[in-house]
Structure 1
Amino acid sequence: MDADSPEQPFRQFIVKLHSRCNLSCHYCYVYHHVDQSWRDRPMIMSGRTTAALAARIGEHARAHGLEKIFVVLHGGEPLLAGPDRIAEVITAIRAAAPRTSVDVTLQTNGTLVDDRFVEVFRRHRVGVGVSVDGGREANDRHRRFADGRPSFALAVQGIDRMRAAGDVWTGLLCTVDLSNDPLQVYEDLLALGPPSLDLLLPLANWVHRPPGHDPATTPYADWLIRVFDRWFDAPVRETGIRLFESIISLLLGGPSDTEAVGLDSAAAITVETDGSLEVTDALKTTAPGLGALGMSVHRHSLDEAMRHPAVLATERTLVKLARGCRACPVVTVCGGGQYSHRFDPEGGFGYPSVYCRDLYRLITHVQARVAAKLALRG
C-alpha cells in the first residue's frame, strides 16, 4: 500500500435515505448533472438495507475502537422518507454501535418540516441543516419545485418550527451564485437567525466549469471577500461561517472543518438507497459512475471499502496534489481545494482546483486581515 495513503477508518457516513426530491433546483448535482444513477435506485432505503448498513457501521466502529462517529441523513430530500422511517434508521444505527457516540445530522430543503419531524429531531437528538440561498429573490432564482413554484416561504416556515423547538436547527447551507449580491444574501440569511452558515462554491470542475468562471479573474473570491469583510468587521460575531472559520483556523495552525480547504481528511463514505458505496457523491459532477466503488453493505465490509484504491486516492496529502500546488505558499491552507473540483478527463484529479485563483485570493486576503488584527492586539 502507498505510504502516503494510510488506511483511515470511516468516521462519517453520508446516508442517502431517499433518492428523490420534491424540489428541482437548477444546479442540483444529483438530478441535473452527468451521473444519472439515481434513476436506477430505489426511492427509499429499505429496512433490509438499513439493517445491513447498521450492522456494517457497528462492525467498523468496534474493529477500530471508534469513540464517536457522524451520520448524515441525506438525499434527494430525506424528509420524503417520513418521520417514522427516519427514527427507525437512527435507532438501528445507534443500537448496532452501543459503545460509540453517534452524532446524527440531517440536511434538508426545509419545505416539508412539520411538528411530526420536529418531534423526531428532538427525541433522537438530530441536528438539522437547511439549504437556503439567500432571501426570497436569491433563493427562488434556482431553488424551485419542478412545476416552477418557489420554495423560500415553505423553507422559512420549517426553520421557524425548528427554532421554536430549541436546539434542533443547526444552520444554513448556501450555494454561492454570482448573480446574487453577496451582502444582500448575507443580510437576508442573517435575518433568519442561523447558528451557523456554510457558504459553498458550486460543484464544478475543468470539464463542467462554474457559472461565470474565468481563469484570469477571481469572481468567486471577490464575492466571498465582500461577505468576509462584513462578517469579520462586525463588532459582535453574528454567526459562524464554516469556510471562513476553517481558513482562519488553518492559518493559525489548527484544523479545518470543511472539505473545501485544508489537508484534513473527512474519512467519509456515502451509502446509496440500495446500499451501494461511493467515495463522495460530489463525484457525480465529474463522469458517470466515477465515485462508485462497486461495493455494497450487503456484500462488503466497510474495512474492504476503506482499502479501495478510489478511497485511498481521496486522502488529502501533499504528494497527491499537482506539482504547482505543492510549491504554493498557501498549500497547507488551501489543501488543493475540494477533491471533485480538480477533475479533468485528461489527468484525472491531478490538476489544481478549478477555483485555484479564487482560493488563493480569498486565503491571502483573510491572511492579511487576520495578521493586521493580531498586530493591533500585539
Structure 2
Amino acid sequence: MKSPFHIMIIPTLGCPSKCSYCWSSDERSPKMSIETVREIKEWLKDYQSNQITITFHGGEPLLAGADFYRQALPILSEGLAHLEPTFALQSNLWKLTPEMAKIFAEYNIPVGSSIDGPEEINDLQRGKGYYRKTMRGYEIARENGLEVRFICTFTCRSVERKEEIFNFFLQNGFPLKLHPALPSLRSDDPKEWALEPEAYGELLVYLLDR
C-alpha cells in the first residue's frame, strides 16, 4: 500500500518578527529561486504515493512574495498531478496581502499561524505589536476565503496564565493547537523561555480536563 508523503519547502529562513524564544534569522536572508522549485518537481516526478502534501514553512514564507507563489504553485500542482498534491502554509501573516490571499485561495491552501493568547500575553513573548499585525493578516485571509488555524506556544512564563489563554481560544472560537517552547539556540540562557517536560505534562492534563 502506498503511503501519503509530506514535503516541507522553506522559501527563506528570514523572518520579520523577533519572538523571544525563537531562533529566527534576519529578514534579509536569501530567498528560494523558482529554479529550485523546478528541481523539487523533477526530484518528485517519479515518486509513487497515494498523495503528497507540500507545506510552505520558514522562517516566514510570505517573504518570498506573490510572484514566487504565482509561479511555484502551478509548477508543483501541474508537474506533480499524478501525486494529487495538496498545499499548506505556516505564517505569522504579517506580510499577507489580498493579492497573495487570492492566489492561496485558488489552491484551497489552509493557513497555520501563531498566537500565544490575548494580546498582552502574546506580545510579552513574541514582541510588541505582533498580535495586531497577525490579526490584521488574519482578517485579510478570512476576507478572501482562507481557513486559518492558530498554534499556541506555551513558555515557562505563559503557562502560569494558562486559564486566560484557554479562555481566549474558547471565546474566539479558535481550535487550540499547542506546542511547548524549546530551549532557544540564540539566547544567552537557552532555558529562559523553555517549558520543562513536567510543566508541559501538567498543562496537558489541565487542558484535557477543561
TM-score (norm 2): 0.84
After TM superposition, list the pairs within 5 Å mapping 1:1-378 onto structure 2.
11-31=5-25, 43-60=30-47, 64=48, 66-144=49-127, 149-166=128-145, 168-180=146-158, 181-194=161-174, 196-204=175-183, 211=194, 213=196, 218-230=198-210
Equivalence for 2:187: none
- Which amino acid in structure 2 is aligned with residue 76 of structure 1? G
Give the whole-Å Cα distance in 2 for the aligned partners of 1:120 and 1:212. Answer: 37
Q: CA RMSD in A?
A: 2.6
Q: C-alpha offsets along residues 79-128 of structure 1, whole Å, 9 cap, x if unaligned?
A: 11112212322211112212121110000012222211210111122111
Q: C-alpha offsets along residues 230-275 of structure 1, whole Å, 9 cap, x if unaligned?
A: 2xxxxxxxxxxxxxxxxxxxxxxxxxxxxxxxxxxxxxxxxxxxxx
Residue pair 1:178, 1:223 contacting (<8 A) in 2 also: no
Residue pair 2:117, 2:152 contacting (<8 A) in 1 also: yes
Note the C-alpha offset of 1:42: 5.9
Residue pair 2:155, 2:195 contacting (<8 A) in 1 also: no
- Which amino acid in structure 1 is aligned with residue 90 of structure 2? Q
- Which amino acid in structure 2 is aligned with residue 188 of structure 1? F
- Which amino acid in structure 2 is aligned with residue 49 of structure 1? T
Residue pair 1:172, 1:198 contacting (<8 A) in 2 also: yes
Residue pair 2:156, 2:195 contacting (<8 A) in 1 also: yes
Q: Summarize the Cα distance change of 1:100–1:188 in structure 2 as closer, same or farther, 3 Å threshold.
A: same
- Which amino acid in structure 2 is aligned with residue 223 of structure 1? L
Give the whole-Å Cα distance in 2 for the aligned partners of 1:212 and 1:50. Answer: 36
Residue pair 2:8, 2:54 contacting (<8 A) in 1 also: yes
Unaligned stretches of 5+ residues in structure 1: 1-7, 32-37, 231-378
Note the C-alpha offset of 1:56: 0.9
Note the C-alpha offset of 1:77: 0.5
Residue pair 2:180, 2:195 contacting (<8 A) in 1 also: no
Give the whole-Å Cα distance in 2 for the aligned partners of 1:42 and 1:223. Answer: 36
Larger Cα-atom Rg = 1
Identity %: 23
Instruction: Report the 3-state secondary structure (helix = DSSP H, G, I; strand = E; otherwise coil) of the residue aligned with 1:72.
Output: strand
TM-score (norm 1): 0.49
Note the C-alpha offset of 1:9: 7.3
Note the C-alpha offset of 1:11: 0.8
Give the whole-Å Cα distance in 1 for the aligned partners of 2:195 and 2:71. Answer: 43
Note the C-alpha offset of 1:192: 3.5
Give the whole-Å Cα distance in 1 for the aligned partners of 2:15 and 2:195. Answer: 27
Unaligned stretches of 5+ residues in structure 2: 185-189
